Structure 1
Amino acid sequence: MAEACDEARRIGEVIRRARVLQRRSQGDVAAALGYHQSKMSRLESGRGAEDVRVLRTVARELGIPPEQFGLAATPDVPATDPGAEDMHRRTFLAAGAAAFVPPADSVTVRAELVRALLPGRPPAVANAPLDPAVLRDRLGVARRLFHTCDYTALERTLPGLIADLRQATGSARATDAFSPLLATAYQTATSLLLKQHDQGTAWLAAGRAMAEAERSGDPLILASSVRVQTHVLTREKHTAQAVALVRHTADQLTGSYDRRSPEYLAALGLLLLRGVTAASGGGDRAATEDFLSEAKEVARYVSLDRPDAWANFDSTNVALHEVSALVALGDAGLALKAAHPLMRRRIPVPERRAALWLEVARAHSRQGRLADGYRALRIAETCAAQDVRRPAVRELVADMMARDRRRSLPGLHEFSRRLGVPA
């Protein structure tokens, strides 16, 4: 079964790399083949082919030699073994089923988090302390794990924390004390799941965050929940809706910055930065500039760069988002120019330090400067090793490898193997 899984993933990577080299989206290739985009996504992840004819169709569209899928050169030429293609099809299908099943330990941890997010009665908790101060401290630990990119520990921490907070909010008298904490825990879960590219469960967590934020009646908690909801919308390419959601919420919070608390301004600032990401991802330069301008204004009045619930908003974070926006908008040269002074600036949050160097790597890659991009990736790894192992970064590395046709950067290929990117 392990060999079948590896073969399925290898075929999926062949398809993905061929598509990336042609600068085509999954939707574009799927439309040309008469498929839904989700079918291409399943194929590239190593699952979902019902018939060897599907592989031949994809091979023709992307110019992939059928031999790379273990098929005969043409359907009219029989394989050495007459049952070879059918055997390969069964192998691929078996691997597709296996691809749904990650390692047992990972399954257990993720299942616990999903159970904690499901509606209904929360999981039973034995003798858990329900003191607000204790739970607030535990939430602070979880937030620090996120900002220091210890995602493995965070995924183990969240289920118990969420279960305890849900039990605590079960008391009507405790709603005011615990609902803001539970909403923030849901927000943290959403951010973690998006890092792991688990959009399906992220939608669930974001919905729970919004519901609990409304229950709390705290406008700042609601703004933070809107921010993670916007992140999910952006990840799913609903950028226009994401921009509209940020604009609507921010309009209700702006003004009188000199009389607002640091927490209030940080919540607003982080929401505006999420608007920057959504607008630039959708190619909306005007909205990107508007959100950046407002975020810079808010940053004049606040500086919160601690790895806690309101962390990570100050002028440096605004500048980091400007770099990211320039990369997203295709202005790689301007992005590198904007990034240069940040490279010498102290950035206390590891996730943000890694984000800077990952954007620098993307900008260099866009310019075809693969060696510089590889060096930036290595620096990002020293900042936050787990963050560099995210699917989005592995895709960047795979793209850089595909363009290094002469293998002039052996270090890049070794780096990719350590990340688990298929050769």
Structure 2
Amino acid sequence: MGADAEIGALLRARCSARLTQMQVGKACGYSASAVSRIESGRLRVDYPTLMRLATFLRIAPEQLRALAVPGMANVATVAGGCRSVEEDEVRRRELLTGAVAAGATAVVGARPAAAAEPVDLEVALFRLPQVEPVPLPRLAGQVSAARRDFCATQYTRLRQTLPGLIAAATVTRDVSTGQAREEADLVLAPSYVLAAELATKQHSDAAWVAADRALAAARRSGIPVAVGEASRQLAIAMRRSGRSTAAVHLLTKEADDLDASRDHTGAVRTTLLLTGAYSAATGQDRSTALALLEEAEQEAGRHPAVPGLFTVEATRTQVDAYRISVLNALGTPDEAVTVADRLEVDRMPTAERRARARTDVARMWNALGDGKQTFAALRQVEAEAPQAVRRPALRALTAGLLYGPTRIEGVREFAARTGALAA
């Protein structure tokens, strides 16, 4: 089925809304016969008309946008690099395979050798490399590849490639107009989101800059999923600077603005509520934290998982992982033990999320004074994601075990291996 025919199939949603072709045409400036040709794929309409049709029929604009712009299906749903967003996106993603394979290093050059100089993300965001504009499908492939690196905890490689990717998306956006400019912003937003995610893991103030730029690009694109993802990153930066209440306000406001009845926006809403729950917990607002957690759990139960929509999936397993982090932050890790016992970490789809869940379990045991269980969880993190265990927060946790009152076999070697022990 061609893109025009698929658009037509979507527009036939008027049938379930009990609307006639004449009513649809009158609302959008077309005759009934023209609407019939659009629905059958025999008449192609311009972009503004397509968006008017989507609005009138209450179809998510990103669904039509993905079909209207060849090769941009993954970008229109925030470049789901971990996995595709919809089953019916598989065919369109395959069309991108050639572009992704050919362009996997075209934007940012060959992947750097392991011995390359580390990139200072704070400096790189203010001094982006000079690059040429790049075709949007190729940029879409680059975002997908970068998202996969993040999900696989390949942080060193991601740190090397992100500046070039952001630079390419920026210059491409700057030379584009109209719809192409919006699509370029839709590539730029998740690029900055990944920079914010990476900066947060490294405890870098660059997270503020990247999150702010991500949200600006997302709002320009007009796609609710992109806005939700960027808002989440900005709220995390707020929370880490001690502004938990402001973070919760931002997250709940964005969540309220999303349509909870649709699977993709409903999944975004669930993720925002989870981040809001943890943000409230860091501010010691127990009632708000638990209320948001329960709301998120209810939302997760109403909708099927939407793979690859975010780096965080809106599932009940993810809710349990957040529940542990919330209870840790509230100073009641004992309440998290039963949750940790039932947590099905192996059901989480990416190494990054599995490592994060095991990190929260390690923090729980550490708060309870059980060094051996803490170390066991840290070793699971290392087995899952070797680069994740070298993050500053985990090195500090390891150092606490090393210099703590209880001698634990293997900790010194682990500390040396992960950078927690000075050479």
Whether the TM-score (by the shorter chain) exceeds 0.5 is yes
Instruction: Provide the residue aligned with 2:126 in structure 1.
Output: 118
Deviation for aligned residue 1:219: 2.5
Q: 1:158, 1:308 → 2: CA distance?
A: 20
Which AA in structure 1 matches 2:399?
A: A
Q: Name structure 1 gaps, 5 residues minimum.
A: 1-102
1:267-318 deviation digits (Å, cap 9, x = unpaired): 2122111112211111111111121122112212334464565652212111
Q: Does the CA-based 8 Å contact 2:252-2:272 persist in structure 1?
A: no
Q: Does the CA-based 8 Å contact 2:193-2:233 persist in structure 1?
A: yes
Instruction: Provide the residue aligned with 1:154 in structure 2.
Output: 158
Instruction: Provide the residue aligned with 2:387 in structure 1.
Output: 386
Instruction: Provide the residue aligned with 1:71 in structure 2.
Output: none
1:245-283 deviation digits (Å, cap 9, x = unpaired): 11222222254x2xx1x3212221221111122111111
Q: Which of 136, 142, 152 is the matching residue for 1:138?
A: 142
Q: Does the CA-based 8 Å contact 1:266-1:310 persist in structure 2?
A: no
Residue 167 (1) aligns with residue 171 (2): yes
Q: Does the CA-based 8 Å contact 1:305-1:349 persist in structure 2?
A: no
Instruction: Provide the residue aligned with 1:197 in structure 2.
Output: 203
- Compared CA separation, residues 286 and 204, structure 1 to 2 (3 A): same
Instruction: Provide the residue aligned with 2:70 in structure 1.
Output: none
SS in 1 for 2:197: helix
Q: 1:254, 1:366 → 2: CA distance?
A: 39
Q: Which of 201, 214, 217 is the matching residue for 2:219?
A: 214
Q: Does the CA-based 8 Å contact 1:304-1:310 persist in structure 2?
A: no
Q: Which of 216, 241, 245 is the matching residue for 2:246?
A: 241
Number of residue pairs matched by the alignment: 307
1:87-138 deviation digits (Å, cap 9, x = unpaired): xxxxxxxxxxxxxxxx99445x226x744x338xx64324x531x3222121
Q: 1:179, 1:360 → 2: CA distance?
A: 37
Q: 2:310, 2:255 → 1: CA distance?
A: 19
Instruction: Provide the residue aligned with 1:188 in structure 2.
Output: 194
Which AA in structure 2 matches 1:141?
A: A
- In the TM superposition, 1:283-302 aligns within 5 A as 283-302=284-303
Q: 1:254, 1:308 → 2: CA distance?
A: 15
Q: Name structure 2 gaps, 5 residues minimum.
A: 1-113
Q: 1:414, 1:279 → 2: CA distance?
A: 37
Deviation for aligned residue 1:345: 4.7
- In the TM superposition, 1:273-284 aligns within 5 A as 273-284=274-285
Q: Does the CA-based 8 Å contact 1:397-1:416 persist in structure 2?
A: yes
Q: 1:308, 1:138 → 2: CA distance?
A: 16
- Compared CA separation, residues 165 and 304, structure 1 to 2 (3 A): farther
SS in 2 for 1:385: coil
Which AA in structure 2 matches 1:118?
A: F
Q: 1:164, 1:183 → 2: CA distance?
A: 12
Deviation for aligned residue 1:343: 4.2
Instruction: Provide the residue aligned with 2:34 in structure 1.
Output: none
Which AA in structure 1 matches 2:391?
A: R
Q: Does the CA-based 8 Å contact 1:305-1:348 persist in structure 2?
A: no
Q: 1:348, 1:417 → 2: CA distance?
A: 30
Q: 1:413, 1:274 → 2: CA distance?
A: 34
- Compared CA separation, residues 254 and 328, structure 1 to 2 (3 A): farther
SS in 1 for 2:410: helix
Instruction: Provide the residue aligned with 2:258 in structure 1.
Output: 253
Which AA in structure 2 matches 1:267?
A: V
Instruction: Provide the residue aligned with 1:339 in structure 2.
Output: 340
Q: 1:248, 1:208 → 2: CA distance?
A: 19
Q: Does the CA-based 8 Å contact 2:412-2:421 persist in structure 1?
A: no
Deviation for aligned residue 1:359: 1.4
Deviation for aligned residue 1:149: 0.7
Q: 1:153, 1:304 → 2: CA distance?
A: 29
Deviation for aligned residue 1:347: 1.9
- Compared CA separation, residues 310 and 394, structure 1 to 2 (3 A): closer
Q: 1:344, 1:399 → 2: CA distance?
A: 25
- Compared CA separation, residues 375 and 353, structure 1 to 2 (3 A): same
Q: 1:247, 1:344 → 2: CA distance?
A: 27
1:369-403 deviation digits (Å, cap 9, x = unpaired): 10111111101111111111100111111222232
Instruction: Provide the residue aligned with 2:89 in structure 1.
Output: none
- In the TM superposition, 1:11-90 aligns within 5 A as none
Q: 1:310, 1:175 → 2: CA distance?
A: 25
Q: 1:180, 1:166 → 2: CA distance?
A: 11
Instruction: Provide the residue aligned with 2:234 in structure 1.
Output: 229
Q: Does the CA-based 8 Å contact 2:271-2:312 persist in structure 1?
A: no
Q: 2:283, 2:399 → 1: CA distance?
A: 24
Q: 2:214, 2:333 → 1: CA distance?
A: 35
Quote the RMSD (CA, aligned, Å).
2.3
Which AA in structure 2 matches 1:223?
A: G
- Compared CA separation, residues 134 and 104, structure 1 to 2 (3 A): closer
Which AA in structure 2 matches 1:251?
A: D
Q: 1:300, 1:342 → 2: CA distance?
A: 16
Which AA in structure 1 matches 2:168?
A: D
Instruction: State the percentage of identical aligned residues.
Output: 34
Q: Does the CA-based 8 Å contact 1:312-1:349 persist in structure 2?
A: no
Which AA in structure 2 matches 1:288?
A: A
Instruction: Provide the residue aligned with 2:269 in structure 1.
Output: 268
Which AA in structure 2 matches 1:411?
A: G
Instruction: Provide the residue aligned with 2:354 in structure 1.
Output: 353
Deviation for aligned residue 1:182: 0.7
Deviation for aligned residue 1:349: 1.1
Q: Does the CA-based 8 Å contact 1:304-1:311 persist in structure 2?
A: no
Instruction: Provide the residue aligned with 2:413 in structure 1.
Output: 414
Instruction: Provide the residue aligned with 2:28 in structure 1.
Output: none
